[in-house]
A and B are shown apart, each in its own frame.
Chain A
Amino acid sequence: MVKILENKIPDILIALLFGLTLSIILLPVVLPLTISFSSSYVITFPPQGFTLKWFTNILLFKSLIDGFRFSLILGITASLTAIVMSLPATYAFYRYNFKFKGYLGNLLLSPSLVPEIVLSFLLLMYFKALKISYSLWLFLGHVLILIPYATRYIYASLVNLDVSLEDAAVSLGATRLRAFIDVIIPNIAKGIIAGFLLSFITSFNAFSISLFLSYGETLPLPIAMWNYLQVRYDPTIAALSTILVFFTLTLSLIVRKIIGLRGLK
């Protein structure tokens, strides 16, 4: 009896639980996306009919297209900057021991500990007080929230790297810089790419910081979408959301492919 309980029932239970959990997680995401194929002119659920016109409709709205382009450029530049800034910092943490290393490490990761909305508000006050040019606000804010992501992934790939690799290259005649380029960079390339892609996704999706710090005519995509919804309530946004889900999903899959599941721990 006990044997049966141990072997058979849990298998079925686990399968059921798994299916239930999966549907709880996925249904709220997937079901509303079906609205993007609905032929109704307002957002209703369940969707009615089938059409692809909402997808083509996206192209008619300059604010959405510009927003997409702007978010793309912002995401790429801010992520690259965050990566470039994180590299020397993570390297120092990997290579050297120094006073307050633990505290400094926490400090480096701290923007992710402050709620984004609070951080956004504080940055707004801060940039204003420092009289920093409006055009830089978004960029600086995004770099700041991305650094913890970039740092984490680069550090994760560095931490497994044998510290004596660089010494080995140096003993064979390479300068420190040459050793870093020849030996360290190729071994953390995956971490750098993963850090970049995840930073990019984070930047692309960042809402409150973009809302607080954007200025002028061109707005990042999340804000452009939000503004659109203020005026219109048709399935265009649902169509755009469908595209964005697949866009982010593809990037996430690339990251997984690069670093593998083990690298995500």
Chain B
Amino acid sequence: MKYLVLDNVTFHYQKGEYVLKNLNLSVDKGEILALLGESGSGKTTLLKIIAGFLKPKEGRVVIDGKDVTNLPPNKRNIGIVFQNYALFPHMSVLDNIIYGLKVRRTPREEAIRRAKELIDLLNLSGLENKRPSQLSGGQQQRVAIARALIIEPKILLMDEPMSNIDPKLRSKLRAEIKKILKKLNITTVYVTHDQEDAFEIGDRIAILHKGVIENADTPQNILRNPKTVYVASFIGYENIIPITRIRELLDLDVININEREYTDVGIRATSIKLSGEPLDNIDYVALKGRIELVSYKKDIISYQVHTPIGTLEVHSYDGSFREGESVYANIYKKGLVFLK
């Protein structure tokens, strides 16, 4: 069920300079969508549009079947965990958490009762009377989450929540956050520029580039089958080769690909095998080449191999090949990813 729908959203500050262009994206009820993009990709703008701080120039924002495009942010019931948490410095942890209920004129006793549930859930017991400045980064983050969750938001937006957390602790915190979000079945948009962040926490990942969603899919599908050249290079495909160069060497009909639809082919460095003689295997295409460079990575050997279709990067555990040596680069056909 589509719970949050961004329908053809366009935004620009100056005409012609699009920040977001005809963007379509939907998030299911209870799903965690990781919105992944580099700085300048438009992800902050998109977040502000969902929250209501910015109004799209065109398109609609629909939440739970209701068009909220013209609804101000304080009427949208969206919880936000800000990048620096934006905890109110002059209020105690408890007062921070119940602020949303205070604004809603909930009686204080009931507000405190509801806060206690979240305080237990987020492991904040004993910190109720502390000021935000007395808390660690992780504790501040949990207070920010509790404050956003107490209003029982329709959607939770998290803006780079790990950027102020010690890198060593991030993985553990992500797992905890994911567990809590799943327990509460809360629809979440998690904005990040960090791939590790996105792949660990997202049920689905939407990759934003220059105001366009390049790819929105499960982490596994994005890794195995990136849709575009940008996504493939972003997630680290070592070899991206124009389809025109590869067409004659590979029998594309066998793979049944409409080449007009695609521009490039992505090949993982681990999908290529080096050998002295061409591999006698129908699953591979052998290219004659020469090793230009050998470099040692942490647990693998990386070869730069000059071939008729360009220089390929090949990763192997086999360290027996030398620079200048003639070899065959055998490309695993099923490892080819066709990119737009």
Chain A residues close to B by CB (< 8 Å):
162, 164-165, 167-175, 178, 182-183, 186-187
Q: How far is the CA of A171 from the CA of B88 in the complex (A)?
A: 13
Q: How far is the CA of A170 from the CA of B74 in the complex (A)?
A: 5
Chain B residues close to A by CB (< 8 Å):
51, 53, 73-80, 82-84, 86-90, 99-100, 103-104, 147-148, 151
Q: Would you call B151 and A168 a contact (CB within 8 A)?
A: no
Q: Would you call A187 and B90 a contact (CB within 8 A)?
A: yes
Specify the chain B residue showing the minimal Cβ separation from A178. B103
Q: Would you call B99 and A169 a contact (CB within 8 A)?
A: yes
Enumerate chain B residues within 8 angstroms of A172, measured Cβ to Cβ.
74, 79, 99-100, 103, 147-148, 151
Specify the chain B residue showing the minimal Cβ separation from A179. B74
Would you give the shortest CB distance from A88 to chain B, in whole angstroms?
A: 21
25 A-B contact pairs sorted by A residue (CB < 8 Å): A164-B82, A164-B86, A165-B89, A167-B51, A167-B73, A167-B86, A168-B80, A168-B82, A168-B88, A168-B147, A169-B99, A169-B103, A170-B53, A170-B73, A171-B73, A171-B79, A171-B148, A172-B74, A172-B79, A172-B99, A172-B103, A172-B148, A173-B100, A173-B103, A187-B88
Q: How far is the CA of A168 from the CA of B145 in the complex (A)?
A: 12
B82, B89, B151: the one contacting A173 at CB < 8 Å is: B151
Enumerate chain A residues within 8 angstroms of B88, measured Cβ to Cβ.
165, 168-169, 182-183, 187
Q: How far is the CA of A186 from the CA of B89 in the complex (A)?
A: 9
Specify the chain A residue showing the minimal Cβ separation from B77. A173
Contact flag A175-B82 (CB < 8 Å), given A167-B53, A187-B90: no
Q: How far is the CA of A167 from the CA of B103 in the complex (A)?
A: 14
Specify the chain B residue showing the minimal Cβ separation from A171. B80
Q: How far is the CA of A88 from the CA of B308 in the complex (A)?
A: 68
Specify the chain A residue showing the minimal Cβ separation from B80. A171
Would you give the shortest CB distance from B118 to chain A, in whole angstroms?
A: 14
Q: How far is the CA of A94 from the CA of B14 in the complex (A)?
A: 23
Enumerate chain A residues within 8 angstroms of B148, measured Cβ to Cβ.
171-172
Q: How far is the CA of A165 from the CA of B80 in the complex (A)?
A: 11
Enumerate chain B residues within 8 angstroms of A175, measured Cβ to Cβ.
74
B78, B87, B90, B100: the one contacting A186 at CB < 8 Å is: B90
Enumerate chain B residues within 8 angstroms of A186, measured Cβ to Cβ.
90
Q: Would you call A174 and B74 a contact (CB within 8 A)?
A: yes
Enumerate chain A residues within 8 angstroms of B78, measured Cβ to Cβ.
171
Enumerate chain B residues within 8 angstroms of A187, measured Cβ to Cβ.
88-90
Specify the chain A residue showing the minimal Cβ separation from B78. A171
New A-B pairs, 14, CB < 8 Å, besides A168-B80, A168-B87, A169-B99:
A162-B84, A164-B83, A164-B86, A168-B82, A168-B88, A170-B74, A171-B76, A171-B80, A171-B148, A172-B148, A173-B74, A173-B77, A173-B104, A182-B99
